[in-house]
Structure 1
Amino acid sequence: MNLNDPRDLLWMACICYGISFATGMLKTFRVEIQWFRNVPILAILCGFVAQTRALYLRGLEVQGCPLGNTLERTQFILWSLILAFLILRFMWRLNLLGTFCAGLAMGAGFLSLSLPGSDSPYWTDPDYIRLFSDPWVELHASIAIFSYGLFSLLAIVSGMYLVQRNALLSRKPRLIGSFLPPIHDLEHAGFRLLSVGVAFLTLSIVVGGMHWTRHPEFVTSTKLYVTLLLWLGYAILFFMRMGNHLYGSKFAKVSIALFCMAIISLSFVNSKSKKPQIPVSASSLVSLDPYK
């Protein structure tokens, strides 16, 4: 295991998240072992440190925020997810939230590392200079990806809400339901996460719009429409929830559906932008970024 190799560090982070998920589930099933009571949160912290170092080292290689391929974008979203969880953990003590976050980080992390072609070494091209031609574009992309991390946490909380609601409606004691937070706490947490996520995504669009007005040639209509439609979907969800027009299970289901659409849109925009056969250069690499 090379601690100076980003991929090795990302594998290490996945293993740590897997340990956190496994021990968290053991605690859920009432397997009480005194010495590993704090193992889940400690494993998440170790995984977060390893993931942070991996993204830092990759950032040095690409000379910017590492968002140039599928692996980097996925790992940045997962890093944002864990960061949001660690921050919110001190504000809301939601049982099993860390376990589910670790499970998602482990699964998506392993998948992104295992998929062939997900980590194309674009920075080794002889004509490569840097991923982002403008610091405002880099800021726009990083804020957008961070908002996706918040929306992934919202999707997890929404899933927990649906599980708890189903357990309450069935009126049958279920093991997982007894460990989940009260349903009203989950609903309040979901709205707060949505509010913060929409704020960050709005800020990202404002920053990106400043660049687009100066260099519209770097932004395709497809990327622009997908980004605006996604923002519009979350904004409508926010105002409908704030006005109590959409709440409860419907709010949770729409939150999960929107996040799935957000993840699918990444692949859609990326695949569309790769169709034209053009020489690889610094400017073309910039245009391949779906968040510009």
Structure 2
Amino acid sequence: MVEMNVMRLHEITVIIYALSVLLYFIDFLHNNRKVNMFAFWLLAFVWVIQTIFLIFRVVETGRFPILSMFEGLYFYAWVLITLSLILTKFLRVDFIVFFTNLIGFFIIALHTFAPGQHGSSVVGAQLISELLMIHITMAILSYGAFSLSFVFSILYVIQYNLLKQKKWGKRLLRIDDLAKLDHMSYVLNLIGVPMLLLSLILGVLWAYLKLENFYIFDAKVLGSFFVLLIYAWYLYKRVVQKLQGKTIAFWNMGAFLLLLINFFLFGSLSRFHFWHS
């Protein structure tokens, strides 16, 4: 019972850390002070939990817990989180903070879900199963964000054409103005991209821990990373090159079509998706 409660607390920590990384990504692109502070306090909460477990481990073993691989991973993740908090609080180097937390998230997830560190094989197996559930849930949530973004882009193109052709009517009034449609499409992608990235990190981790023969060059795996790259390029065009309007809307629509191809076509060609649990 105690082991199961500890496991749950570790899982909650991973989810909170994922939310912190998502917010750091938004702050990385927009330099939003409020978002940065919220991400900071979420990360601080993760650090407190990690520190408590670290101290408990020291008291339990009577030594500093770095002698095994799993202990080393835990301490490594704790160091990364500590450095991220210091960088956020005193130096404000957002680029370094975001990517440091990406590494930290991977290490924390690896430590949390690796079955070898748990005394009970049942608990270890359950953790692996729940890792898959978190991976799938985050992927579906990112797909939902991309889908809504796609709809906003379609509405943008329809509204743009109606205005250009000067077709005033009820349809025009029922669709939001172009600026709002463009902004909502962007915001949803801003949420979807880091969520898909974290989902892929957890998915690769699950495959590495669960499957005897994991192929990194699997069609679905490569397709998913390609989709992520296309959406990341969309954000680059939107944020750095300040591209807006019809061109970026068509880019977003094309990215979503690639996502559908990856989901249905590449998923059917995958060696392990939909066949393993």
- Please tell me whether Structure 1 or Structure 2 has the larger radius of gyration of its CA atoms: 2
TM-score normalized with structure 1 length: 0.47
- Determine which structure has greater relative contact order: mean sequence separation of CA pairs < 8 Å that are 6+ residues apart, divided by chain length: 1
TM-score normalized with structure 2 length: 0.49
Report the structure, 1 or 2, having the larger helix content: 2
